[in-house]
Amino acid sequence: MQPGPVTTLDDAAGLVAQLRADATVAEGHVRDITGLGHGLPLLPADVVDRPGWAAAAVTSMAALTSEAQLPAVSRVARAVTARTAGLQVGGVVAYLGGRVLGQYDPFGGPSGDGRLLLVAPNVHAAQHALDVPSTDFGLWVCLHEATHRLQFTAVPWLRGYFAEEVGRFLSITQGTERSAVLDRLPEVLRSVRATGGDSLAIVELLQGPEQRAVLDRLLALTTLLEGHADHVMDAAGPQVVPSVATIRRRFTARRRGGGLVDRVLRALLGVEAKVRQYAVGSAFTGHVVLAAGMDGFNRVWESPETLPTRSELSDPGAWLRRVLG
């Protein structure tokens, strides 16, 4: 993992203090915008460097997958796959460690009940690359992560539901998995040619019906969470973040940009699919809020049954008809 950008100790200390303050201010704004979390304690954020984020990410991944019942394999196969998986995870963490600005980890912290992380060197680097005011950019990032924290702390069932679905997805085994993959190989190859190697489309084609149903629910949930957070960070408006329009425009261009190697890595790691999630989830949130207000939108948090399906995310009217009547 590459070291962070070069800066002075005073500037680094100032950024850390500013981000900690921004996280508290941001959550107050998010509560006002969303109507979630009033009465809950305002918790601090942890400002970390890149290795600190990487360590937290690995710990969180282990906690999230700890309940999964994985298929039994031989000792030799287990040794080989463990080494391969370790290299893959290490590569993913190293790549993302230089890009993640912040993250709410619902399974992190000393007691495992949640931790908001802000990656100071990445915030610093992105702010300079975008050439936007540092005071505005840090607060804008915090609005997104504070929204994620409230999603999990103000909706009591969400954390358990998410963990159960991930565990269910990882635990599903199929006796004919190898032959099923071979049967679908022509379809996978056609998808590679048609989509330019869309990693999410390929993953979906390799799943059996039961896995695909769980994956659909997980993708719908994560799309909603990311889109809702993106909507909120812009809904705060110029009264809170004066340069919000400029930041959004330049940040969106940055998400889509990068050199050839960077774009290939993002596609392989599913980052391109995640970028699309932001757009689809934000459009769904904006449509429902415009049609039914934030109180109407907040019906999504009543139960797993009121969450939008993947098809409803692209057709918000269908969700409005099903849930609001």
Chain segment 167-190, per-residue pLDDT in tens: 888 777 544 454 454 455 555 455
Q: Residue length, the chain? A: 325
Question: What is the spatial distance between Cα 144 and Cα 126, in angstroms, rounded to a whole number?
Answer: 15
| Residue 107 contacts residue 123 (beta carbons within 8 Å) | no
Residues with Cβ within 8 Å of 66's Cβ and at least 6 positions away in sequence, in order, are none
Q: What confidence score (pLDDT) does residue 89 get?
A: 44
Sheet containing 102-105: order of strands:
46-48, 115-119, 102-105
pTM: 0.79
Query: For the segment 238-289, what is each residue's pLDDT rounded down to a tens digit?
Result: 999 999 999 999 998 876 555 444 444 444 445 455 567 788 999 999 999 9
Per residue in 90-116, pLDDT tens? 444 444 556 789 999 998 887 778 999
Express each pLDDT in 115-168 by its tens digit: 999 999 999 999 999 999 999 999 999 999 999 999 999 999 999 999 898 888
